[in-house]
Structure 1
Amino acid sequence: MAPNFFELIRATLQRLFEEPLVVWPGGPAGRRAFTGAAILSRTQAVREALSPMAAGTPVLLALPVGMDLVCALLAVQARGAVPMLPPAGASPWQLWWLLRRGGIRTIIVQRPGRGVRLLARMLGLRLVDVNTVTEPAEPTEPAVPVVAGQAALVSHSSGSTGAPKAIRRGHGVLRAQHEAIKEVFPPWAGQRDFPLFPNLLLHNLAAGVLSIMPDVPWAGGPPEPARLVAQLVREQVQTLTGNVHYFSALLKYLRQHPVALPAVVGIGVGGSPVPEGLVQELRACFPGAAVHVIYGSSEAEPIAVRRVGAVPADPCAGYYVGGFHPALEWQLRPLGRLRGGQAVGEVLVRGAHVASPQPGEWLPTGDYGYVADGQLFLTGRKGNERLHQGVQHYQIEHVLSQLPGVERVAARAGAAGFTVFVQGPACPRAIAQVLARDFPPGLCGAVQFRPRLPVDARHHSKIRYDRLR
């Protein structure tokens, strides 16, 4: 048997029993604080509601983002079962496919309607309604040990290269990812974090860091930057992480409504390719903060980290993401050579904090790039990786993303070169001039403007090349 990841969190919750560890927006006071005691109690209550349940049983968490989801996930882990999160924006058909393929017979829900209850009875599914769960008196029961290699969490990829795929992270991998994040970004007593990525909430609970959850529409829709800035000020947030879509909206608001945020000392941007212009603007907007580009995936978080300096990186080089985490082994699966002679290929990694298909196997990331002086640069993505005249699509996109009026840009590789798609009121002549200046003649054919470019449903930042029309 192997240690249960929840034991790491349980020890922290018991140590910080009376301390607030999660603050969620909402409620009569505009915020709700959850102490270690409250989280332990709610987790134990859901755990008891799941009884009886055999270890290794898959459980679907069909809950909106909130503390009930967090406590349900911890409860399933504590019982030695396997929490499964549906893909972002999953359709009823995707949920049905997930139930059938995953052999799921138990679903944790919130206020199921009569139709849902009837359908569950017809299909022989067990529904556990978190709204009917009562709190236990003694939330001290230890976690059930698990079989070595058992999944501690099954989530789904963003689906940027097709249908979202299931990602199974074992208890050992989750613990190793926690340790890998802690090594790069050491937590400190009293830290006030503002995490957009769900895996960082689990990491914070294990590390004893206060998580102040951003006031965003978790079910979908654009963020409201004014609400976020008000939170940052009110809660005196010190560190924050998010994706390109999130920080782009925040910076746009701060350009129009400047606010001093001296408490912020650290910013991490990831989830998709990160434009150089965005991180340089973050440095200017948050002068007291260290800005980092974080490259990773659900299977391997983090892979590489770069602290952004005052001298901007060259967008022609691709996306500069920094040095590999020291706990990782890496290699490139060769594709060809870039104009400068660099060998480019698909990035493969393995290590303790990598959820490989089999232990010790190389994980293909689906990202293409090269390594120069120990630093990783990303130049392409699987499904659109073709080289033309020593150029990959990320290089074109990164250069054009720096132009005024380019909100999003995609360069799709065809048989003879690239077709460029642009979202935003950019000047066509300026685009043509930059392409002629930085890239070989004839590399890019038509430049087409679109009202919207298709992006993934989770980060709203990754281009869906398969849907470009």
Structure 2
Amino acid sequence: MHPNFFATIHATLSAHPDRVLVVWPAACAGQAPATYTGGALLLRIEAGRAALRAQGVRPGQPVLLARPVSFELICLLLAVMSLGAVPVLPPAGASALGLWRVARRSKIRQALVAPALPWPARLLARALGLRLSADSGALPAPAPAWTAQRVAAGQPALISHSSGSTGPAKPIRRSHRVLQAQHEALRQAFPPLPGQRDFPLFPNVLLHNLAAGVCTLLPDVAWGAPARLEPARIVRQLRQQGVQTLTGNVFYFARLADYLTAVPTALPAVVALGVGGSPVPEGLMRRLAQLFAQARCYVIYGSSEAEPIAVRQLTDAAGLPEAGYCVGPILPALSWRLHPLGAVWVGAGRPLAQVGELQVKGAHVATAAPDGWLSTGDFGYLDADGRLCLTGRQGNEAIRQQQQHYQLEHVLQHLPGVARVAARPGRRGFVVYVEPAAGAVVAEAAVRAALAVFPGPVCEQVHFRRRLPVDSRHLSKIRYGAVR
């Protein structure tokens, strides 16, 4: 196998030059979406590849992709990777200062920017020694046969950043070997299958889909402002473009579920959907199973460093919400262990569960640890059926009254009118913060009554907030350190 992960994508594109593999939303209302075949993708990648080589980009060199999400960004990323250089994706919503910090941290001297970058930003970048370039958009004549630059399999293939929900966004370095292994793990764990039409919320899934020969239809969303999601436009795409599989986060699917409840729409083509990116409430999964009656519904648990870790199909009872978030069995390809923390109560009539921080190790795990183990920052236990149940998150993991915060939050997620909830450890129990849904009124008495399912005084105080702080990428992960 060629050590450069792009070689896998190159082989797929070359084998299917006439197959539509990417469908990008129309820039303006009334226009048709743009479609790109394997052959068209190769031509665009070759254009970027030629321009980058002319600019002196070399194997192993990090290149910052400081451009908005677009088809051109995807092609430039693949062009960088094909040369054996390292594409660097900045944190979601990064400011100009944030981009400079990324460049300094990763010792970047080259950045690909939008053609219309304001001149003050260009002047500042050049003063700091950062070379800026923008592709011309010109396509070359069909190039002679070419292959991806050979690299060491352990060389970084892609640097992205975490969501920043537990602190500053940190760089995640995935090697070519890890990207290949993550692609294989995803292909085995979850649809789509070759020939299906996939609808992923995040464009990074494109790498996996292109390697698998799956057609990717990108949602019509404002990539830089996910809160402006318009579910009516998404549902129209699902219906008109024959989408068969879709994935996204809790915020995204909750908005879709609310819209489909208010405006019932048959979507018989959808055969599978997956929800992940943050703890997934069981109530949301049950709603989706009713709204997408023909689809298999999955909870997908993982991280950028290890995608996926566990996958659960919604075919069985997951237990009560007070037991935590059930994410299914850990993949057999992974070694795992729990760094012990203590014991929590997981339901009447059941023994206390010993919880700890999950650590994983395997071919599709990206970690700089010499022993290969990745500490996920998630706390939980395995239930009697061997399924992982999440009960807490690093930085907020303290046990109070034999509970962790996810257990309280999962119970309250099922309370009518609750949009988001955060529970922070107090002196003896938890201080609970509730964000009501738009137009809803939630009474403190109802919150305390719902939490009476737990033994002991778990709730010290209840506070209501108009908005709880969440990460900028998923809009689903609570930033506990910012809860006030």
**TM more than 0.5:** yes
Superposed CA offset, 1:416-457 (max 9, x none): 221000000222221111112x11332211100000000001
Give the C-alpha shift of residue 364 in structure 1.
0.2
Residue number among 377, 380, 384 corresponding to 1:369 in the alignment: 380
Superposed CA offset, 1:67-109 (max 9, x none): 1111111011001000000001112222111111111110011
Superposed CA offset, 1:331-369 (max 9, x none): 000000112321100000000000011465210000000
Distance in 1, matches of 2:141 and 2:332, equals 43
Match of 2:26 in 1: 26
More divergent stretch after superposition (375-384 vs 145-154): 145-154
What pairs with 1:36-185 in structure 2 (closer than 5 Å)? 36-51=38-53, 52-111=56-115, 112-138=117-143, 140-185=145-190
Three-state SS of the structure 2 residue aligned to 1:324 is: coil
Three-state SS of the structure 2 residue aligned to 1:38 is: helix
Residues 309 and 100 (structure 1), Cα distance of their counterparts in 2 relative to 1, 3 Å cut: same
Residues 19 and 345 (structure 1), Cα distance of their counterparts in 2 relative to 1, 3 Å cut: same
Structure 1 unaligned blocks of 5 or more:
none
Match of 2:459 in 1: 444
Three-state SS of the structure 2 residue aligned to 1:281 is: helix
Give the C-alpha shift of residue 376 in structure 1.
0.3
AA matched with 1:138 = A
Give the C-alpha shift of residue 214 in structure 1.
0.6
Residue number among 26, 34, 37 corresponding to 1:35 in the alignment: 37
Superposed CA offset, 1:113-141 (max 9, x none): 33333333333322220245543431742
Distance in 2, matches of 1:359 and 1:265, equals 41
Distance in 1, matches of 2:162 and 2:31, equals 35
Cα pair 1:41 1:139 within 8 Å, conserved: no
Cα pair 2:174 2:305 within 8 Å, conserved: yes
Distance in 1, matches of 2:72 and 2:141, equals 15
Give the C-alpha shift of residue 186 in structure 1.
5.1
More divergent stretch after superposition (173-182 vs 93-102): 93-102
Q: Are residues 1:322 and 2:328 paired?
A: yes
Distance in 2, matches of 1:337 and 1:446, equals 23
Three-state SS of the structure 2 residue aligned to 1:115 is: helix
Q: Are residues 1:343 and 2:347 paired?
A: no
Residues 279 and 156 (structure 1), Cα distance of their counterparts in 2 relative to 1, 3 Å cut: same
Q: Are residues 1:461 and 2:471 paired?
A: no
Cα pair 2:178 2:366 within 8 Å, conserved: yes
Three-state SS of the structure 2 residue aligned to 1:198 is: coil
Structure 2 unaligned blocks of 5 or more:
346-350
Three-state SS of the structure 1 residue aligned to 2:228 is: coil
Match of 1:395 in 2: 407
Cα pair 1:110 1:131 within 8 Å, conserved: no
Superposed CA offset, 1:272-310 (max 9, x none): 000010000000111110000000000000000000126
Residue number among 276, 284, 287 corresponding to 2:290 in the alignment: 284
Cα pair 2:421 2:435 within 8 Å, conserved: yes
Match of 2:348 in 1: none
Match of 1:382 in 2: 394
AA matched with 1:92 = A
Distance in 1, matches of 2:295 and 2:212, equals 21
RMSD of the TM alignment (CA)? 1.5
Three-state SS of the structure 1 residue aligned to 2:72 is: helix
Q: Are residues 1:423 and 2:427 paired?
A: no
Show structure 1 runs of 4+ deviating over 6 A: none
Match of 2:310 in 1: 304
Residues 18 and 359 (structure 1), Cα distance of their counterparts in 2 relative to 1, 3 Å cut: farther
AA matched with 1:345 = G
TM-score by length of 1: 0.97
Cα pair 2:278 2:477 within 8 Å, conserved: yes
Residues 290 and 35 (structure 1), Cα distance of their counterparts in 2 relative to 1, 3 Å cut: same
Distance in 1, matches of 2:282 and 2:125, equals 49
Three-state SS of the structure 1 residue aligned to 2:122 is: helix
Q: Are residues 1:435 and 2:477 paired?
A: no
Cα pair 2:77 2:87 within 8 Å, conserved: yes
TM-score by length of 2: 0.94
Distance in 2, matches of 1:380 and 1:246, equals 22
Match of 1:199 in 2: 204
Three-state SS of the structure 2 residue aligned to 1:50 is: helix
AA matched with 2:469 = P
Residues 132 and 24 (structure 1), Cα distance of their counterparts in 2 relative to 1, 3 Å cut: closer
Distance in 2, matches of 1:256 and 1:462, equals 26
Identity percentage of aligned residues: 56
AA matched with 2:110 = T
Distance in 1, matches of 2:382 and 2:465, equals 34
Match of 2:12 in 1: 12
Distance in 1, matches of 2:470 and 2:194, equals 38
More divergent stretch after superposition (89-98 vs 7-16): 89-98
Cα pair 2:325 2:389 within 8 Å, conserved: yes
Distance in 2, matches of 1:166 and 1:89, equals 15
Superposed CA offset, 1:378-406 (max 9, x none): 00000000001210000000001100011
Match of 1:268 in 2: 274
AA matched with 2:414 = Q
